[in-house]
Structure 1
């Protein structure tokens, strides 16, 4: 968990994502999340939904803690340090999987990790979402993000769909 200046969480998120991309660190810095949730608020007699930051001043980062990845995250503009790091170049303590799961569930994010074994060229059946019950060929697989691209035949045309591993099943 990165500690940031309050109010700069989304800016830190976009800065870190672009730095990871430009420095070729996508294999080490996977996901950057600002913990937010939608709450109903009544103001002047009118109810509206507002997105509220769950942990002001903090950004969650899923990463492999190498010296270079740590350096890139630590030196991102707006970052003041890591939670669990005591300064002097010490590496932070990672959050426990249960803590991450609780935070992600609170945000409404699905964190199911699937061990499905698919590769480019495989035929899969879509079991959930708008393309349910269609079959298609896998064109791209991203095991880190648990996503893949599948070309499905819809209305006589081939359509590319980006799906999660939990939305497909392998075809024998």
Structure 2
């Protein structure tokens, strides 16, 4: 697998207080410039803390885990690097030595710790072998335990869409490969 084919996590340095704006800008730029196959997830790590106020009511406060930093899952290519690097509010990639050099990605165990603290997963590649029309059992998430018929498969993003029955109606569930298993009963 070449350098440009591997999907990895990187850290962006941003102006403090602009993390969510940078996230939004990158997502918009990736879509408008047709880079959805190179730029996948953009995350601003946050933690929620419950504070008891003087009147006895609980108040949730969201803190940025790493103020001034944004995580991005992407395939590092010259074009993707250029688009992300030149997004307003981005001051650079962490692990880049300047002069246009590509940054070093986070280690898998580093991103796993960060995402687990946020209640997300790193979406480890799954070897599920299903085709459109096959049935799957959803094993995780909001649709856990439901069976659906696969209608669309995105191998690049490791996601699929399946029609499930919910509240007496057919509904489309979009899930990661690692959230389903093949249903051999059909």
Query: TM-score normalized by structure 1?
Result: 0.89
- Supply the distance in 1 between the matched residues of 2:182 and 2:141 (Cα, whole angstroms): 16
Distance 2:140 2:120 in 1: 16
Q: What's the counterpart of residue 34 of structure 2?
A: 24
- Partner Cα distance (1:2, 1:132) in 2: 34
Aligned to 2:179: 167
| Unpaired stretches in structure 2, ≥5 consecutive residues | 1-10
RMSD: 2.0
For structure 1, the residue ranges without an aligned partner over 5 or more in a row are none
Residue of structure 1 in register with 2:51 after alignment: 41
Contact (CA 8 Å) 1:151, 1:158: kept in 2 or not? Answer: yes
Residues 76-95 of structure 1: pairs in structure 2 closer than 5 A: 76-95=87-106
Distance 1:56 1:129, change over 3 A: closer
After superposition, the Cα gap between the structure-2 partners of 1:15 and 1:171, relative to the gap in structure 1 and judged at 3 Å, is same
Aligned equivalents of 1:26 and 1:78: distance in 2? 20
Contact preservation (8 Å) 1:30, 1:144: no
Q: How many pairs were matched up?
A: 172
Task: Within 5 Å, give how 1:48-59 maps onto structure 2.
Answer: 48-59=59-70
Judge conservation of contact 2:111–2:122 (CA < 8 Å) in 1: no
Contact 1:3 1:82 in 2 (8 A): yes
Shift of 1:140: 1.7
Q: Secondary structure at the match of 1:7?
A: coil
- 2:86 is aligned to 75
Q: Is the 8 A contact 1:9 1:34 kept in 2?
A: yes
| 2:159–2:174 CA contact under 8 A, matched in 1 | yes
Distance across 1 between alignment mates of 2:34 and 2:134: 28
Summarize deviations over 1:49-101 as a string: whole Å, max 9, x none. Answer: 11111000000011111111000000000000010112111111111111101
Q: Distance in 2 between matches of 1:100 and 1:11?
A: 22
Classify the secondary structure of the residue corresponding to 1:77: coil
